[in-house]
Amino acid sequence: MKEKTAKPLLKVENLTVRFPVKRGGLFSKKSYLYAVDDISFEIARGETLAIVGESGSGKSTAALAVARLVKAHSGSVLLGDDDFLSLQDEALRQARAQVQFIFQDPYASLNPRLRAEAVVREPLDSLGTGDPSERQASIDALFKAVGLRPEQQRLFPHQFSGGQRQRIGVARALATRPELIICDEPVSALDVAVQAQILNLLRKLQKDFDLTYLFISHDLGVVQHMCDSVAVMYMGKIVEHADRLSLFNNPLHPYTKALLSAVPSVDKKRRQETKRILIPGDPPDPLSPPNGCRFANRCPAAQEQCSQSQPPLRQIAAGHTVACHLVSDNGIAPI
Amino acid sequence: MKPLLKVDNLRIELTTRDGVAPVIDDLSLQLNAGETLSFVGESGCGKSMTALALMGLLPEGVGRVASGQILFDGEDLTQASDARMREIRGNEISMIFQEPMTSLNPVYTIGEQIAEVLRRHQNLSRQAAWNKAIELLDAVRIPNPGARVSDYPHQMSGGQRQRVMIAIALACEPKILIADEPTTALDVTVQAQIFDLLRDLGRELGTATILITHDMGAVADMAERMIVMYAGRKAEAGPVEQIIEHPRHPYTKGLISCVPHLMATLTEERPELTEVPGIVPSLRDFGRDQCLFASRCDRADDKCKTSRPPEIEFENEQSSACWQAEQLR
């Protein structure tokens, strides 16, 4: 791993996203669902941070908030020196060119009435990057970079396969020469054999263009392959955050352990060594989260203190933080 | 021992705008009582179509069994009447579908939906069927079944709905359970719970399971034997552990190595994933006299493009339809 002395490209501090929820009658009090609850992380230039978690954990909402596609309630998203969340007008337009997004579903995220070249051209035109006369040349280069043929520029999205559509999505994200690309489950809608093509492409582009990825996924195999560090989310909170090797080889939080143990593997050795950690039941109601640890009601190691106070994120080793009362300071996991 | 299910040279044709295409082309397989067999492959390879054929649920007017036999306990299902198929379906062969969100009826309580199967197939009274439904909910480990039985599907989570589907499928203690991607819509921890449940219930009831999936990890976890399907044909078949260790078909090899798997110990090393270039051929190309995988295969030569490889059987019960199967190790 690279030395982390340089300033991080992206620094997210105390990000909170909440949604108003109507419950009960007309005059009942407005309540809020905290989809992302006070999370912080940073990504160094050229690296990949993966956020993993199950559905409802808030990982996608966090990604959308970082890109300002949903409104954050509080917190800051520092891109270099600027707080991306408070930029306005022209400064925002320029910053937007630096942060691009690859969406999950390539069938839904391309405008069916635009030709492939127009899809890729759109961010160039609307964010005004590059000389207009050179735009066609950069579209040609982008198509080449993502492995599409030049004559395919004239086709409409429905004429492409799922993998090719995702390539168009990648080309569109690259169009403005961004520094940060947020990939929200970029391969989960694709067939297994096609997933490998897109994952290899993303890794190659990262090297070629010195890109920084915020990678959202629920597939731990994919995450393991793509990331440099991982943040595990559960009910809007980061419960564990570590570099790739520490998290996968030495997970500390009971939830991380359970998550990893649930992944079926073709590796016989892993199947024999892994003890399945069962977490029965469902997460608690997100509208009224418990006072203590949010995982306590499903945690096989939970003790009394767990349901009384929320465990803070503590640093256990260099670059390894965990939010669990029961992990000892020298890094011994409760289970 | 006589196999519970024996499929011989099954050919299923779909009528499309471009003509008739064989979605299943000369498929043979056997399933023994209590065993778990897995169908693996990308979408569009005919896995689900095989399952629908076994259930007698091929799309009407579009799909038909063109030739071959499906022998279930000695009875040929391709010749069975609609009335007979209705008796078998849900009673002796039942199925769990991929989407637990859409496969339950939203306007009936889950209790009514489980009881319906029991009243139809086992002639239980309304009350007896209702009580049995509560027992079944308990068996699929839904907490507080007595109260949940009157819930509607929208009141349950995805994992719970899939448990209800399993309860419906297993209500009559079928001999065969077909699970068509039962966990793709679910989270991994829920998937693990559903797999545990299927494994335990299968063992208790002696049900044979056909698991349709594209996840090699799930296959390794659940099944004893597997069949890799490609473009409506059997590419490779045999015991799971052997195939994972020594695939004898380039497609199987590709399917295993194109996915980044979690290994026992992770290292700094991250080799490029093996790509299987291109995509599954379109229905128009099905049925050609060539290896249909040839266009995506890095070992393909002229022979592969001009004649269909026969199934070669090896001593260890593995079989592969590849001209170079013997050299592949």
Q: What is the DSSP string of A14-83?
A: EEEEEEEE--SSTTSPPEEEEEEEEEEEEE-TT-EEEEE--TTSSHHHHHHHHTTSS--SEEEEEETTEE
Reported as a single tens digit per residue, the pLDDT across A123-179 is: 998 887 778 888 999 999 999 999 999 999 999 999 999 999 999 999 999 999 999
Q: SS3 for B172?
A: coil
Which residue in chain B has the smallest CA separation from A1?
Answer: B268
What is the least distance, in Å, from the CA of A259 to any CA of chain B? 6
Reported as a single tens digit per residue, the pLDDT across B88-106 is: 999 999 999 888 778 899 9
The encoded tokens of residue B47 equal: 């896995």
The encoded tokens of residue A335 equal: 């289970």
Question: What is residue A1's predicted lDDT score, i.e. its pLDDT?
Answer: 44
Measured CA to CA in angstroms, residue A69 lies from A39, A100, A214 at distances of 17, 11, 15
- Closest CA relative to residue A101, chosen from A137, A127, A139, A80: A127
Predicted TM-score of the model (pTM): 0.90
The encoded tokens of residue B293 equal: 């995988």
Q: Give the separation between CA A320 and CA A173, rounded to whole angstroms.
A: 31
Question: What is residue B39's predicted lDDT score, i.e. its pLDDT?
Answer: 96
Between B2 and A228, whose confidence is greater? A228
Reported as a single tens digit per residue, the pLDDT across B39-50 is: 999 988 989 899
Q: What angle do CA B198, B204, B209 make, to 5 degrees?
A: 45
Q: What angle do CA B285, B287, B293 make, to 5 degrees?
A: 65
Question: What is residue B329's predicted lDDT score, i.e. its pLDDT?
Answer: 67
- Domains of chain A and any CATH numbers: 10-252 (3.40.50.300)
Q: What angle do CA A265, A271, A273 make, to 5 degrees?
A: 135
Q: Scanning the structure block, which residue is given the tokens 């209790």?
A: B111
Cα within 13 Å of Cα(A35), Cβ side: 19
Amino acid identity for residue B284 in this structure: R
Residue B143, chain A, CB below 8 Å: the answer is: yes
Helices A162-174 + A135-145 axis angle, to 10: 130
Interchain proximity A270–B263, CB inside 8 Å? yes
Rg (CA), chain B: 21
- Do A251 and A240 touch, CB atoms closer than 8 A? yes
Secondary structure, 3-state, A104-122? CCCCCCCCCCCCHHHHHHH
For residue B143, which phi and psi values (nearest 5 degrees)? -65, 150
Which residue in chain A has the smallest CA separation from B42?
Answer: A191
| Chain B residues lying within 8 Å of A262, measured CB to CB | 188-189, 191-192
Q: Give the separation between CA A224 and CA A220, rounded to whole angstroms.
A: 6
CA A164 to the chain's CA centroid: 22
* The pLDDT of residue A275 is above 90: no
CB contacts < 8 A, A to B, total 127
Question: What is residue A55's predicted lDDT score, i.e. its pLDDT?
Answer: 86
- Do A110 and A165 touch, CB atoms closer than 8 A? yes
What is the least distance, in Å, from the CA of B39 to any CA of chain A? 15
Q: What is the mean pLDDT of chain A?
A: 91
Region for residue A208 given its phi and psi (left: phi exceeds 0; alpha: psi -120 to 50; beta: otherwise): alpha
* The pLDDT of residue B71 is above 80: yes
Tell me the H-state helices in chain B.
Answer: 47-55, 82-88, 110-122, 126-139, 145-148, 158-170, 188-205, 216-222, 240-245, 250-257, 302-306
Measured CA to CA in angstroms, residue B225 lies from A297, B7, B72, B216 at distances of 38, 15, 19, 12
The encoded tokens of residue A40 equal: 């912080």
Sheet of strand B63-72, all strands in order from the earlier edge strand to the far edge = B19-31, B5-16, B63-72, B75-76
Question: Could you tell me how many residues make up chain A?
Answer: 335
| Chain B residues lying within 8 Å of A192, measured CB to CB | 42, 214-215, 255, 258-259
Question: What is residue B143's predicted lDDT score, i.e. its pLDDT?
Answer: 87
Q: Assess: ipTM above 0.90.
A: no
| Chain A residues lying within 8 Å of B190, measured CB to CB | 54
Interchain proximity A221–B268, CB inside 8 Å? no
Rounded average pLDDT over A277-299: 88
Interface of B with A in 53-112 (CB under 8 A): none
Which residue in chain B has the smallest CA separation from A248?
Answer: B266
Rounded average pLDDT over A86-104: 91
Rounded average pLDDT over A242-247: 95
Question: What is residue A2's predicted lDDT score, i.e. its pLDDT?
Answer: 44
- Do A102 and A169 touch, CB atoms closer than 8 A? yes
Quickly state the pLDDT bin for A254 (edges 50, 70, 90). very high
Secondary structure, 3-state, B178-216? EEECCCCCCCHHHHHHHHHHHHHHHHHHCCEEEEEECCH
Measured CA to CA in angstroms, residue B152 lies from A197, B113, B134 at distances of 42, 10, 14
* The pLDDT of residue B36 is above 90: yes
Rounded average pLDDT over A91-100: 91
- Do B165 and B99 touch, CB atoms closer than 8 A? no
What is the least distance, in Å, from the CA of A205 to any CA of chain B? 13
| Chain B residues lying within 8 Å of A196, measured CB to CB | 258-259, 273-276
| Chain A residues lying within 8 Å of B255, measured CB to CB | 192-193
Reported as a single tens digit per residue, the pLDDT across A37-69 is: 999 999 999 999 999 998 889 999 999 999 999
What is the share, in percent, of chain B residues with pLDDT greater than 70? 100
- Closest CA relative to residue A283, chosen from B195, B160, B185, B139: B160
Interchain proximity B255–A193, CB inside 8 Å? yes
- Closest CA relative to residue A158, chosen from A104, A103, A115, A101: A115
Which residue in chain B has the smallest CA separation from A285?
Answer: B157
Interface of B with A in 210-229 (CB under 8 A): 214-218, 220-222
What is the least distance, in Å, from the CA of A84 to any CA of chain B? 32
Measured CA to CA in angstroms, residue B99 lies from A103, A167, A290, B186, B233 at distances of 22, 27, 31, 9, 25
Query: What is the end-to-end Cα distance of chain A in Å, rounded?
Result: 28
Interchain proximity B262–A218, CB inside 8 Å? no
Q: Scanning the structure block, which residue is given the tokens 């920084």?
A: A212
Q: Give the separation between CA A36 and CA A17, rounded to whole angstroms.
A: 5
Rounded average pLDDT over B70-84: 94
Measured CA to CA in angstroms, residue A250 lies from A216, A277, B164 at distances of 21, 15, 36
Interface of B with A in 249-268 (CB under 8 A): 254-256, 258-268
DSSP code for A96: H
Interchain proximity A191–B42, CB inside 8 Å? yes
Q: Give the separation between CA B221 and CA B216, rounded to whole angstroms.
A: 8
Helices B158-170 + B188-205 axis angle, to 10: 10
Q: Give the separation between CA A156 and CA A137, rounded to whole angstroms.
A: 20
Question: What is residue A284's predicted lDDT score, i.e. its pLDDT?
Answer: 86
| Chain B residues lying within 8 Å of A57, measured CB to CB | none
Question: What is residue B268's predicted lDDT score, i.e. its pLDDT?
Answer: 87
Question: What is residue A82's predicted lDDT score, i.e. its pLDDT?
Answer: 87
